[in-house]
């Protein structure tokens, strides 16, 4: 289980952040945290995530592909994503999900 974070700069200055907590063994998108943060708050968030998780940068397409693959895997097992996923999904915008089999497998 681990987080996938995506951050988008907003035109007005702050950052839209979404953290998807992924359960790659069964539940898929277990939790979603959607927030608007200042640069200082964003730096603190990223520092905390890095401190408690082995975070590594990936392209937005790989992050999107991973979250969508987790959704599909969980759906095949009969699980629905966290209720806030629908609220957070627009963060992907026009990002095309990349295939992730070479990066990760579920179960």
Q: What's the pLDDT tens digit per position in 84-107?
A: 999 999 999 999 998 776 667 788
Structure tokens of 57? Answer: 């940068």
Is residue 101, in this structure, part of any structural domain at all?
no
Is residue 66, in this structure, part of any structural domain at all?
yes
Is residue 105, in this structure, part of any structural domain at all?
no
Is residue 17, in this structure, part of any structural domain at all?
yes
Cα–Cα distances (Å) from 54 to 3, 45, 47, 71, in that order, read: 10, 14, 11, 22
Alpha-carbon radius of gyration of the chain = 14
Mean pLDDT of 45-65: 89
Q: For residue 50, what pLDDT is reported?
A: 87
Number of structural domains, the chain? 1
Strand order across the 28-37 sheet: 2-9, 15-23, 28-37
Is residue 107, in this structure, part of any structural domain at all?
no
- How far is the C-alpha of 18 from the C-alpha of 7, rounded, in Å? 7
Residue found under tokens 């069964």: 26
Percent of the chain predicted with pLDDT > 70: 97
Q: Domain range holding 15?
A: 2-92
pTM over 0.75: yes
């Amino acid at each position: 289980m681990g987080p996938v974070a995506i951050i988008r700069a907003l035109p007005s200055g702050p950052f839209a952040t979404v953290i998807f907590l992924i359960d790659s063994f069964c539940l898929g998108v277990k939790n979603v945290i959607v927030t608007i943060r200042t640069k200082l708050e964003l730096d603190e968030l990223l520092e905390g995530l890095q401190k408690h998780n082995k975070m590594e940068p990936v392209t937005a397409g790989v992050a999107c592909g991973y979250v969508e693959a987790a959704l599909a895997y969980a759906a095949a097992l009969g699980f629905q994503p966290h209720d806030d996923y629908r609220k957070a999904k627009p963060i992907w915008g026009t990002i095309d999900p990349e295939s992730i089999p070479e990066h990760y497998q579920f179960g």
